[in-house]
């Protein structure tokens, strides 16, 4: 995986009554969870994200349906398919992300390490590349 990202397989507790997945802060995911949000009702042709964060850690879990996530930095790029609720994608600081190919009805759950803070976003890709180059070259 590219720097500051990780794919995690979540344990599903299953049985004749259905399935259950638990996520615990600082255990299942490598950060304290201060916020959750979910993205839904996204049309199939819509691409969203288009930003990096400076400090935030997030875990993305597609709890219903499927979505693709492109994660990149100035030196690496990767595409991750989230098509099962047991797959979590961890994304840390200074990683550019774009989400696309939402299957109709999909729900993307996001667990985040901080409260919402617009000043933690880098939304301009040119600026991101400039900041990330020096950030990665200075060894984070
Ligand atoms: P944004 O993070 O840009 O969405 P995406 O990366 O999925 O395209 O957020 C979209 C809008 O929602 C933006 O105006 C900020 C707002 N927002 C909040 O108010 N609180 C939140 O926790 C989040 C994630 C977004």
Which mutation among 43, 49, 97, 120 tests ligand 1's pocket best, with the greatest number of atoms within 8 A of CB?
49
Which residue is closest in CA terms to ligand 1's atom 14?
118
Give dist(CA 22, CA 7) in Å, integer.
Answer: 16
**CA 18 to ligand 1 center in whole angstroms:** 32
Which residue is closest in CA terms to ligand 1's atom 1?
49
Give dist(CA 61, CA 37) in Å, integer.
Answer: 11
**What does the pLDDT read at residue 81?**
98
Point out the ligand 1 atom lying closest to the alpha carbon of residue 48.
Answer: 8
pTM here? 0.97
Read off the pLDDT band of 140 (50, 70, 90): low
**CA 140 to ligand 1 center in whole angstroms:** 25
Residue pair 111/24 in contact by the 8 Å Cβ criterion: no
Residue pair 129/74 in contact by the 8 Å Cβ criterion: yes
pLDDT reading at 122 higher than 80: yes
**CA 37 to ligand 1 center in whole angstroms:** 9
The per-residue pLDDT for range 42-87, each reduced to its tens digit, is: 999 999 999 999 999 999 999 999 999 999 999 999 999 999 999 9
Residue 96: count of CB within 10 angstroms of its CB: 22
| Token reading at 2 | 């590219």
pLDDT reading at 124 higher than 80: yes
Q: What's the rounded mean pLDDT across residues 114-128? A: 98
Which residue is closest in CA terms to ligand 1's atom 21?
116
- Radius of gyration over every alpha carbon of the chain, rounded to an integer in angstroms: 15
Give dist(CA 107, CA 74) in Å, integer.
Answer: 29
The per-residue pLDDT for range 12-40, each reduced to its tens digit, is: 999 899 999 999 999 999 999 999 999 99
Q: Does the annotation mark 115 as catalytic? A: no
């Amino acid at each position: 995986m590219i720097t500051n990202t990780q794919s995690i397989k979540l344990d599903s507790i299953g049985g004749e009554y259905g399935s259950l997945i638990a996520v615990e802060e600082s255990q299942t995911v490598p950060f304290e969870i201060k916020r959750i949000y979910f993205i839904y009702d996204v049309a199939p042709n819509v691409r969203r994200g288009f930003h990096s964060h400076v400090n935030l850690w997030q875990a993305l879990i597609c709890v219903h349906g499927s979505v693709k996530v492109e994660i990149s930095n100035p030196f690496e790029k990767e595409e991750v398919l989230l098509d099962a609720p047991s797959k979590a994608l961890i994304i840390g600081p200074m990683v550019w992300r774009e989400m696309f190919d939402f299957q109709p009805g999909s729900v993307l759950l996001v667990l985040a390490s901080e409260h919402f803070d617009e000043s933690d976003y880098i939304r301009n890709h040119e600026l991101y590349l400039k900041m990330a180059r020096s950030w990665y070259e200075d060894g984070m």
